[in-house]
Amino acid sequence: MAIVTRWDNRDKTAILLEFESEWNWEDLEQALLDADAYIISVPHQVDIIIDVEGSAIPKDFINAIKQLIQSNGDDARHNEGHRIVVGANKTVRTIYNTAQKTFAKQLDGRELLFAADLRDARAILRSLRT
């Protein structure tokens, strides 16, 4: 699997999506479906940690993001929590900023936070919960 989706803790309050170095947009779609299944399986808030450290972004990202947004629409789960990206290099952050500007209305309320590593991401989530 190019993107591994699993619980990040025993309390099932966070999901970890681990991106391998090579992945494609279909892999991302499947990972998001898997994450949705985890989220709806519990009644409490579930945060998402997206670990992209060392992975390459496939080409044609604007069209792919547009397609993902259109296919997911306003389907954010009622208990979907914060989204934190780990290991985002300058390219990933530029892509995110471009997507935020291009799809501002569709992404309103679904912003991403950034962390240097998994430990930092988990610390951010702990501080947001208190």
Tell whether the model's pLDDT for residue 28 goes beyond 60.
yes
User: Which span out of 32-46, 54-68, 92-106, 109-123 was modeled with the highest average pLDDT?
Assistant: 32-46
Give the residue-averaged pLDDT of 24-43. 92
Q: Which of 7-21, 24-38, 55-69, 107-121 has the lowest mean pLDDT?
A: 55-69
- The HSE-up count of residue 16 (CA atoms within 13 Å, CB side) is 16
What is the reported pLDDT for 70? 64
**Contact of 39 with 18, CB cutoff 8 Å:** no
Report which of residues 112 and 62 the model is more confident about. Answer: 112
Domain hosting residue 54, numbered range: 3-129
More confident residue, 107 or 51: 51
The 3-state DSSP composition of the chain as helix, strand, coil percent (nearest 5) reads 45, 20, 35
Q: Find the CATH number of the domain harbouring 83.
A: 3.30.750
Helix and strand numbers (H, E) in the chain are 5, 5
Model confidence pLDDT, tens digit, residues 51-106: 999 888 877 776 777 676 666 555 567 899 999 999 988 888 887 887 778 777 77
Report how far residue 40's alpha carbon sits from residue 76's, in angstroms, rounded to the nearest whole number: 11
Furthest C-alpha separation in the chain? 39
Per the structure, the count of domains in the chain is 1
78 or 37, which is more confident:
37
